[in-house]
Amino acid sequence: MQVQLSDNARIVLERRYLAKVGSEVVETPEDMLRRVAKNIAQLESDPIWEECFFEIMDNLEFLPNSPTLMNAGRELQQLSACFVLPIEDSMEGIFETLKNTALIQKSGGGTGFSFSRLRPSFDVVSTTGGVASGPVSFMRCYNAATDAIKQGGTRRGANMGILRVDHPDILQFIQCKADPREITNFNISVAITEEFMEAVFADQTYPLINPRTKEAVGELRAREVFELIVEMAWKNGEPGIIFLDRINRFNPTPQVGEIEATNPCGEQPLLPNESCNLGSINLAKMVKREGDQWVIDWKRLGEVVEIAVRFLDNVIDVNRYPLPEIREMTYANRKIGLGVMGFADLLIRLGVPYNSDEGVELGREIMRFIQNTGHEASAKLAEERGPFPNFAGSIWEQMGRPMRNATVTTIAPTGTISIIAGCSSGIEPLFALAFTRNVLDNDRLIEVNPQFEAILRERELYSEELIEEVAKTGSVKHLEDFPEDLKRTLVTAYDVTPEWHIRMQAAFQEYTDNAVSKTVNFPKEATKEDIRSVYELAYKLGCKGVTVYRAGSREGEVLTVGHQKDEQPQEARAERPSPRKRPRVTRGETVRIKTGCGTLYVTINSDEQGICEVFTTIGKAGGCAGAFSEATARLASLALRSGVEPTQIVKQLKGIRCPHPIWQGGQQVLSCPDAIAQVLEEYIKHNGVNGNGGSQKTPSDSASHSTPADPDFGENTERALSNEACPDCGGTLVQESGCATCPQCGFSRCS
- As a whole number of angstroms, the distance between CA 189 and CA 207 comes to 19
The predicted pLDDT at position 42 comes to: 98
Three-state DSSP state, 98: helix
Q: Taking the complete model, does pTM exceed 0.85, yes or no?
A: no
- As a whole number of angstroms, the distance between CA 645 and CA 666 comes to 28
Burial of 570 (0-12, 13-18, 19+ CB in 10 A): exposed
First to last CA, the chain: 31
- As a whole number of angstroms, the distance between CA 341 and CA 282 comes to 5
Instruction: Please identify which of the residues 185, 187, 251, 263 carries the catalytic annotation.
Output: 263
Q: Is 612 a catalytic residue?
A: no
- As a whole number of angstroms, the distance between CA 736 and CA 549 comes to 8
- As a whole number of angstroms, the distance between CA 444 and CA 562 comes to 11
Residue 221 bridge partners (DSSP): 205
- Per-residue pLDDT tens for 302-361? 999 999 999 999 999 999 999 999 999 999 999 999 999 999 999 999 999 999 999 999
The predicted pLDDT at position 727 comes to: 59
The predicted pLDDT at position 321 comes to: 95
Instruction: Please identify which of the residues 82, 265, 726, 750 carries the catalytic annotation.
Output: 265
CA neighbor of 727 nearest in space, from 629, 656, 643: 656
Hey, what amino acid is at 631?
A
8 Å CB contact between 111 and 101: yes
Task: Report CA dihedral (234, 343, 374, 64) to the nearest 10 degrees.
Answer: -80
The region that residue 119 occupies, defined by phi over 0 for left and psi between -120 and 50 for alpha, beta otherwise, is beta
Beta-strand relationship, 444-448 and 519-522: unpaired
The predicted pLDDT at position 559 comes to: 42
Q: Is 325 a catalytic residue?
A: no
8 Å CB contact between 264 and 158: yes
The predicted pLDDT at position 582 comes to: 74
- As a whole number of angstroms, the distance between CA 338 and CA 358 comes to 24
Neighbours of 670 (CB within 10 A): 22
- State how far Cα 645 lies from the chain centre: 33
With b for 16 or more beta-carbon neighbours within 10 A and e for fewer, the 402-415 pattern comes to: bbbbbbbbbbbbbb
Low-confidence ranges of the chain (pLDDT < 50): 151-154, 440-441, 555-560, 563-575, 693-723
- As a whole number of angstroms, the distance between CA 397 and CA 531 comes to 40
- As a whole number of angstroms, the distance between CA 463 and CA 452 comes to 12
8 Å CB contact between 407 and 330: no
DSSP state of 411: B
Instruction: Please identify which of the residues 260, 267, 306, 718 carries the catalytic annotation.
Output: 267
Q: Which residues have C-beta within 8 Å of that of residue 62, sequence separation ≥ 6? A: 56, 279, 280, 281, 282, 304, 307, 308, 311
- As a whole number of angstroms, the distance between CA 525 and CA 684 comes to 34
- As a whole number of angstroms, the distance between CA 286 and CA 243 comes to 33
Q: Is 726 a catalytic residue?
A: no
